[in-house]
Structure 1
Amino acid sequence: MEVTNQLVKGGEFIIKETDAQDVFTPADFSEEQNMMHQTALDFVEKEVTPLLDRLDNHEEGLMRGLMEKAGELGLFGVSIPEQYGGLDMDFPTSLRVTEGVGGGHSFPVAFAAHTGIAMLPILYFGNEEQKAKYLPGLTNGELMGAYCLTEPGSGSDALGAKTKAMPTEDGEHYVLNGQKMWITNGGFADVFIVFAQVDGDKFTGFIIEKETPGLSLGNEEHKMGIKGSSTRQVFLSDVKVPKSAVLGEIGKGHLIAFNILNIGRIKLAAACLGATKMASTLSVKYANERVQFKLPISKFGAIKYKLAQQAVRIYAVESAIYRAGMDIYRMEQELLGKGQSHNEALLGAAREFAVECALLKVEGSEVLDYVVDEGVQIYGGYGFSADYPMDRAYRDSRINRIFEGTNEINRMLLVDMILKKGLKGELDLMGPAQAVQQELMAIPDFNLEEETGLFAAEKKTIAKLKKAILMVAGTAVQKYMNSLAKEQEVLMNIADMAIKVYTAESTLLRVEKEAAAKGEEAVSTQIDIARVYLYDTVDQVNKFGKDAIGTMTEGDEQRLLAMGLKRFTKADLYNAKEARRRIADKLIAANEYAY
């Protein structure tokens, strides 16, 4: 894939306007990339979907068999170098394939654990011997992997792990003792990435094989959803491994855990995207089939609202996912050009866009929850029946707000990362923030000059919403200084402002670019989608901003900030009802998710 567009920095969207032609959209995927996506979709439809009930009952060997087939098809090797049996394709393609398997309920959980947090640590941090030993089998499906980080006492606080790894007297081995829980693929994995404290305080990764004496498994967990995925505890009782099992460097396990999570978060968003499209299609089909009062319920305004709002949020998060995915790829190419290895370059690029990865993990998982919840409602009483598909979709979606760091952790993390970039001088937050403060004290600009061009007015609205973020975040930094981390509610308010603005801007840019290529008439309902999403975003940013300002200030300062927020979140009224009806009518006519 040729890279010619402008390079941006992670988190820079808050202070910088982006040109629509610099944004990657799903329309830009090549025929080869779309073929890989279709291969994944076909695999789920033909191989996974017919087996969902049997998978949920944990039929022995069934999930592993599906995983082996996926490996044989090349789905595990999208981002793996050819020397280890992979296809060595780019990062946006790996996102596209992840989206393709996303509608497979429990299957994408097993798939993502294997291809992401199990394989990538070896690819990026393993030595040549470790890569040569494990990656070919993990790539072709002969070996299965699992990732062992979480413990009963350490979930979000990953570095608080208690599992110990003590070196033997001769220094040639380590002996591990501890307990890991919620280990996806635990029941059939051959290779485990295990994190332990060496000498009590050096957080370190290890590669441990299933047959190693002392490694044992608990029973399958009884879960609310994703019942078909294998989730077990892993017990380590005097597990003796050679020093060659150390992954990376002693005491540097946090580099493995946290860098891999950046990639995992945006890939989780892509998997959620695939699931949302499946649930939207199910909703549309049922609404067309279900007759009440002698009419299909898809004829009714209340149902059209639901179908349209599902599509609006799906299209918006999709726009943001592939915008960020290409930005990561461009940064990777930049780092490669500076002489970094492929491994260093992708990790560095993902680290640069860790803000966007966290943001998308939150939005992707919450959009899926919204879509399946409305799907249940569209199905009505049948939505509550286990004999209909929304039951499984509803239960399976819920874990995604916990996976890869809870959404609360990710919200606070993304704000912390933006502020740290500003303090380090990696982002010029101070200049724009001061400009916003000066604007608050100035007379408002009542420039009534007519805007021209598609989305000219909407772009001005986006620019004002970014000022609202800078105003609220700047006030938070001034008020709380080093204690800001304790003000979690305020951090989450700021995060939600950033999430909605990034997603709204991504949607506008995508539609603007596609309108320039195809003409506005060809993307008329996509224009509706962009405007409806922004219309909702303005009020949401206002609410999040008011909550934060009300928390942080009082008196004249509060009144000044409230006036500023009102100015920055002002937008004209818009007939969103008719726009949503047009959006829904296209879905209804296509009898599927059509965007």
Structure 2
Amino acid sequence: MRVQGIANEAGGSFILENADDAIFTPEDITVDQQMIVDIARNFVLRELIPAEEKLEKLDYNLTKSLIQKAGELGLLGVDFPEQYGGLNLDKVTSTFVNEQFGRTSSFLYSIGTQTGIGSLPIVYFGTHEQKEKYLPDIVAGDKLCAYCLTEPSSGSDALGAKTTAFLSDDGTHYILNGSKVFITNGGIADIFIVYAKIEGKHFSAFIVERNTPGFTVGQEEKKMGLKASSTCSLFFDNVRVPAENLLGEIGKGHQIAFNILNLGRHKLPTNCLGSAKEILALSAKYANERHQFGTAIASFPLIGKKLAEMNILIYALETMVYRLAGQFDQAMNDTDHSDSQPTTGSVAASIAEYAIECSIVKVFGTEVLDQIVDEGVQIHGGYGYTQDYKIERMYRDARITRIFEGTNEINRLLLAGTLIKKGNKGQLPLFENMEVFKEEIEHQAFTQALEQETYLETMAKRIFSLIGGLAIDQYGKSIEKEQEVLANLADLLIQIYAINGVLLRTKKLVNNIGEEKAINAIRMTQVFVQESFEKIESTAKEALASMDLEEEIQQLMKLTAQIPVNVKTLKRQIAERVSHAEKYIV
């Protein structure tokens, strides 16, 4: 499905000064999409939330039955071709559905694996025969899935896997030996996507069925959180996998693994978005009900400040999540996954186009969730530390998100390194205009809404160009060893992508409904851009200092001057709306 009115953006192009393409926003939801969202929301409210306490005890039968109920409602097949029982809908619709699951317990990772990394390798890289054999049962929820990449000695270094696969003498089977750890759905899955090295050299993917002799599942891990989600180790002892269960091409497993992880890096912050909205609603309601000194604590400015900041961060995350969903729809629009097996490279290229944005949204979303859930506990006070309140469980569950789908440290290195490679290959003109940063820019009186914020966005992009260009000049190819500088560049990119998206979304809102109706979005954008720019300036100074570039630091300080905005008043106005609504509000 092509998202109407949304222009194609090349991955990473948001960093260019003229990147003003239209983006998909949640306000663009269609009637048909809203119908699917309503089905998902009702399922969460009527089936999942009432069962949360039982799910926390990891009841396998309950988990399976609820996934089957989701299948009956069509919620498992949003991304699946119709001929295999799916709905064949777009990534935007899938994102709306996935957000709803973020409101409930860590059961969301059971169902998320079923609809995401556990099944999409077959959807995008499987043969017709593989799809025909496995997808109908997956869509129905009759068979559950798991994604098996991590090993005891290889986490972030996935290609360092030691699990091996050797073709049998008669050529009918691959014989797998090795182990996997931290496998979500490990205790309940029937179908496992397993990565192994053929002849110990060629990294490849296989579909392994649970009842295969020699394949065993270990004990449930005793985890800090995620009590409603199964996590086990897997062991392969001369496991004979039919040769036709090789997924994709020999030696191309990395393209499947990493690009499915890219999709996972979008789905995870989508779940974080749903969780963040639930946390804000719980916190706002509690703040209105909890009285101290004869008044509701929601009326205290410091509590209101927390609610406002939570709402602003959610607005930014929501913008980024749905923008990326629209970008995925454009990139994958011309790739047909319905029948014959596409080449691994063609599908991988469609997904990989936005690898940078996937890492950005993953890092931003998981760190925003941590900020929001921490403040949620703080608003609840001592009660937030007790298991009588849902916020305590959400606090424990949130911590893993910065480790899932590649740690945030690895994702920072990936996104910065990938963008630099694009620049070096001439795919994006990133650092050609370093001198423009040094040009004196005439400061003007900003009279229109968001004029100063638009100016700060331009300055932020120039700052990145300067820092990136200087880093390349100083370190050359060895920059990959300078992890601190790469992390600085990544943090600049994350903030710029967020600023760019928030500005585009709010301007679109203003054009559609007018300034008066969009006033809350305008206020949130003003606060977010101002505070993000302060982070950008601080990060840039750190990077320049680490390269011993004192002259450039002085130049930076001259050119990053901004007119202060009264964020206190803006946050109070935003907080008033949040307290009244007792939920996230645009």
> 2:56, 2:105 within 8 Å by CA — same for their partners in 1?
no
3-state secondary structure, aligned to 2:487: helix
Aligned to 2:569: 578
Aligned to 1:280: 280
Match of 1:481 among 451, 476, 485: 476
Cα deviation, residue 94, structure 1:
0.9
Aligned to 2:373: 372
Structure 1 position 253 matched with structure 2 position 253: yes
> 2:437, 2:462 within 8 Å by CA — same for their partners in 1?
no
CA distance in 2, matches of 1:346, 1:93: 20
Q: CA RMSD in A?
A: 1.8
> 1:454, 1:512 within 8 Å by CA — same for their partners in 2?
no
Structure 1 position 464 matched with structure 2 position 459: yes
1:536 aligned partner, one-letter code: E
Aligned to 2:488: 493
Cα deviation, residue 19, structure 1:
3.4
Aligned to 1:355: 356
Aligned to 2:16: 15
2:382 aligned partner, one-letter code: G
- Cα pair distance change 1:439/1:544, threshold 3 Å: closer
Match of 2:535 among 517, 532, 540: 540
> 1:3, 1:330 within 8 Å by CA — same for their partners in 2?
no
- Cα pair distance change 1:202/1:27, threshold 3 Å: same
Cα deviation, residue 452, structure 1:
5.6
Cα deviation, residue 329, structure 1:
1.4
CA distance in 2, matches of 1:273, 1:364: 7
Aligned to 1:88: 88
1:189 aligned partner, one-letter code: A
3-state secondary structure, aligned to 1:76: coil
CA distance in 2, matches of 1:494, 1:568: 19
> 1:273, 1:368 within 8 Å by CA — same for their partners in 2?
yes
- Post-superposition Cα deviations, 1:41-81, rounded to whole Å, max 9, x if no partner, equal 22112111122221111224111111111111111100111
2:97 aligned partner, one-letter code: V
> 2:252, 2:344 within 8 Å by CA — same for their partners in 1?
no
CA distance in 1, matches of 2:573, 2:347: 41
- Cα pair distance change 1:216/1:439, threshold 3 Å: closer
Moved more, 191-200 or 53-62: 53-62
CA distance in 2, matches of 1:439, 1:385: 52
Aligned to 1:445: 441
- Cα pair distance change 1:141/1:334, threshold 3 Å: closer
CA distance in 2, matches of 1:13, 1:27: 21
> 1:265, 1:361 within 8 Å by CA — same for their partners in 2?
yes
- Post-superposition Cα deviations, 1:441-491, rounded to whole Å, max 9, x if no partner, equal x4x23353x456432221111000111111111111111111111111111
Match runs of 1:488-567 below 5 Å: 488-553=483-548, 558-567=549-558
> 2:185, 2:229 within 8 Å by CA — same for their partners in 1?
yes
Cα deviation, residue 344, structure 1:
7.2
Cα deviation, residue 134, structure 1:
0.2
* Structure 2, unpaired ranges of 5+: none
CA distance in 1, matches of 2:547, 2:263: 34
Match runs of 1:113-512 below 5 Å: 113-333=113-333, 347-429=348-430, 433-440=431-438, 442=439, 444-448=440-444, 450-451=445-446, 453-512=448-507
- Cα pair distance change 1:463/1:209, threshold 3 Å: same
Structure with the largest fraction of helix = 1
CA distance in 2, matches of 1:105, 1:16: 41
Task: Provide the TM-score with structure 1 as the length reference.
Answer: 0.95
CA distance in 2, matches of 1:455, 1:492: 29
CA distance in 1, matches of 2:186, 2:40: 24
Equivalenced residues, count: 582
CA distance in 2, matches of 1:343, 1:246: 13
- Cα pair distance change 1:344/1:70, threshold 3 Å: farther
CA distance in 1, matches of 2:187, 2:7: 46
2:570 aligned partner, one-letter code: A
2:507 aligned partner, one-letter code: E
CA distance in 1, matches of 2:343, 2:199: 32
Cα deviation, residue 341, structure 1:
6.1
- Post-superposition Cα deviations, 1:16-43, rounded to whole Å, max 9, x if no partner, equal 33437x1211100101112212222221
- Post-superposition Cα deviations, 1:101-148, rounded to whole Å, max 9, x if no partner, equal 111221211112111111110111111110100011101111110011
3-state secondary structure, aligned to 2:176: strand
Aligned to 2:6: 5
- Cα pair distance change 1:313/1:187, threshold 3 Å: same
Cα deviation, residue 343, structure 1:
8.8
- Post-superposition Cα deviations, 1:181-228, rounded to whole Å, max 9, x if no partner, equal 101011111101111111011111110111101111111111111111
> 1:468, 1:568 within 8 Å by CA — same for their partners in 2?
no
Cα deviation, residue 328, structure 1:
2.1
> 2:149, 2:180 within 8 Å by CA — same for their partners in 1?
yes
- Cα pair distance change 1:309/1:161, threshold 3 Å: same
1:16 aligned partner, one-letter code: E
CA distance in 2, matches of 1:273, 1:568: 35
Cα deviation, residue 2, structure 1:
4.7
CA distance in 1, matches of 2:480, 2:319: 31
2:581 aligned partner, one-letter code: A
> 1:25, 1:510 within 8 Å by CA — same for their partners in 2?
yes
Aligned to 2:100: 100
* Structure 1, unpaired ranges of 5+: none
CA distance in 1, matches of 2:7, 2:120: 28
CA distance in 2, matches of 1:411, 1:114: 27
- Cα pair distance change 1:136/1:335, threshold 3 Å: closer
